A and B are shown apart, each in its own frame.
Chain A
Amino acid sequence: KNQVEQSPQSLIILEGKNCTLQCNYTVSPFSNLRWYKQDTGRGPVSLTIMTFSENTKSNGRYTATLDADTKQSSLHITASQLSDSASYICVVSDRGSTLGRLYFGRGTQLTVWP
Chain B
Amino acid sequence: EADIYQTPRYLVIGTGKKITLECSQTMGHDKMYWYQQDPGMELHLIHYSYGVNSTEKGDLSSESTVSRIRTEHFPLTLESARPSHTSQYLCASSGIRGPTNEKLFFGSGTQLSVL
Min C-beta distance of A40 to chain B, whole Å: 10
Residues of A within 8 A of B111 (CB): 41
> Which of A104, A105, A109 has the most chain B CB atoms closer than 10 A to its own CB?
A104
Name B60-115 residues within 8 Å CB distance of A: 90-92, 94, 99-109, 111
The CA-CA distance from A34 to B104 in the complex, in Å, is 10
Contact of A51 among B90, B101, B105, B106 (CB under 8 A): B101
Residues of A within 8 A of B2 (CB): 43, 45
- Per-residue CB contact flags for chain A residues 76-106 toward chain B (1 = under 8 Å, else 0) read 0000000000000100010101111010111
Is A19 positioned at the interface, with any CB of B under 8 Å from its CB? no
Q: Are B100 and A31 in contact (CB under 8 A)?
A: yes
Q: A43-B90, A102-B104, A106-B40 are in contact. List 5 more A-B contacts (CB 8 A).
A: A43-B107, A43-B109, A46-B103, A104-B43, A105-B42
Q: Are A32 and B100 in contact (CB under 8 A)?
A: yes
- Per-residue CB contact flags for chain B residues 1-17 toward chain A (1 = under 8 Å, else 0) read 11000100000000000
Is B47 positioned at the interface, with any CB of A under 8 Å from its CB? no
- Per-residue CB contact flags for chain A residues 18-39 toward chain B (1 = under 8 Å, else 0) read 0000000000000110100000
Residues of B within 8 A of A99 (CB): 31, 94, 99, 102
Residues of A within 8 A of B106 (CB): 43-45
- We find that the number of chain B residues with CB closer than 8 angstroms to chain A is 26
Min C-beta distance of B106 to chain A, whole Å: 3
Residues of B within 8 A of A51 (CB): 100-101
Name A32-84 residues within 8 Å CB distance of B: 32, 34, 41-46, 49, 51
Q: Are A41 and B109 in contact (CB under 8 A)?
A: yes
The CA-CA distance from A105 to B37 in the complex, in Å, is 12
Residues of B within 8 A of A89 (CB): 42-43
